Amino acid sequence: MSRTAFCFDLDGTLTTTEILPCIAAELGVADEIATLTRLTMDGLVPFEDSMRLRTLILGQVPVARVHDVMASVPIASVLQEFVRHATDRCFVVTGNLNIWISPLIESLGCKAFSSQAKLIDGAVRLESVLSKDEVVHTLRTDGCFDRIVAIGDGANDAAMLRAADIGIAYGGVHAPATAAVNAADLVVHNAGALCKLLKAL
């Protein structure tokens, strides 16, 4: 029996809101970070540059407080159920930081690939920004899966969607970026429809 791996973007795909503006609300800069996030998603600002800037700004929020915020970030229930029933085949692939998203990953129960940061003297220090397509190549090289399906909504997901056997641009929270749509094999705009598709693959 063939085994399929499912690679999910996190922000605005599994979650029903973008995460970083939620953290930014703690500093009173939610609108500014939301604007930067949208420009990044649309491919108008390089993701790595944007992530370094957003980390510099949002790193002022204590990690413990970030975890409190993360605990309240909503996850699409039907997608959460899908992941929980196939944790050995589902992977979160996110440019967000490992030290920020750990409560969300714990609630999903699957493995995550993310950008890496450390807490040094109370400050968040970005170490590396994830290249999402490299996750697809890693999973393929491991040889545990016969097929890889990737789901995402932003320009930074385009390389992952293109590298996967099946790339799905998802617009359940907001319209997927043009780059994601152009890189995808399929476009889906509803969480329920997405789950039905994934179960059929």
Q: Kindly report, residue by residue over 105-130, the tens digit of the pLDDT.
A: 999 999 999 999 998 888 899 999 99
153 inside domain: yes
Structural domains of the chain, count: 1
CATH of the domain at 150: 3.40.50.1000
Q: Which range marks the domain in which residue 10 is found? A: 4-16+74-200
* Segment 145-159 mean pLDDT: 96
101 inside domain: yes
Give the number of C-alpha atoms closer than 13 A to the C-alpha of residue 111, restricted to the C-beta side.
10
Burial of 181 (C-beta count, 10 Å sphere; 0-12/13-18/19+): middle
CA distance 75 to 58: 22
User: What is the reported pLDDT for 41?
Assistant: 85
149 inside domain: yes
Q: What is the pLDDT of residues 31-59, one digit of tens each?
A: 998 899 889 888 899 989 999 999 999 99
CA dihedral sign of residues 95, 97, 103, 106: positive
pTM for the model = 0.93
37 inside domain: no
Is residue 1 pLDDT above 80, yes or no?
no
115 inside domain: yes
Among the listed residues 109, 115, 106, 108, the one whose alpha carbon sits nearest the alpha carbon of residue 135: 115
94 inside domain: yes
- Tell me which range, 20-29, 85-94, 115-124, is most confidently predicted by mean pLDDT: 85-94
105 inside domain: yes
157 inside domain: yes
